[in-house]
Amino acid sequence: MGGQTGFGPVPVEDDDGQFFHADWEARVYALVRALQRRGIIGAQFDDLRDAIERIPPAEYLASSYYERWLRAAEMLLTERGLLHDG
């Protein structure tokens, strides 16, 4: 969905000086960075960005920034045989 037009302006939230709005967001960030350090996610995050762009449009639009990161990480781990569906 990245780079597509017709979705209106990007909403800008008040910057309260916090990087994360909830504890779980910080944990998702830490998880993705740990996967990056282990070489599971590429150093430039190209594969993470690609996975985010493969999230189905309705799910993508209904998800927050870090929900997309988590979903993309799940996709990559599953595709690489490190996470199995339930």
pLDDT tens across 40-84, in order? 999 899 999 999 999 999 999 999 999 999 999 999 999 999 998
Per-residue confidence (pLDDT) for residue 85, from 0 to 100? 72
The count of structural domains within the chain is: 1
Q: Is residue 55 part of a domain?
A: yes
Domain that includes residue 72, residue range: 43-86
Q: What's the rounded Cα separation, in Å, for the pair 3 and 74? A: 23
Q: Is residue 62 part of a domain?
A: yes
Per-residue confidence (pLDDT) for residue 12, from 0 to 100? 66
Plot region of 45 (φ>0 → left; ψ -120 to 50 → alpha; else → beta):
left
- 8-32 confidence digits (pLDDT tens): 676 666 667 788 999 999 999 999 9
Q: Is residue 57 part of a domain?
A: yes
Q: What's the rounded Cα separation, in Å, for the pair 65 and 80? A: 23
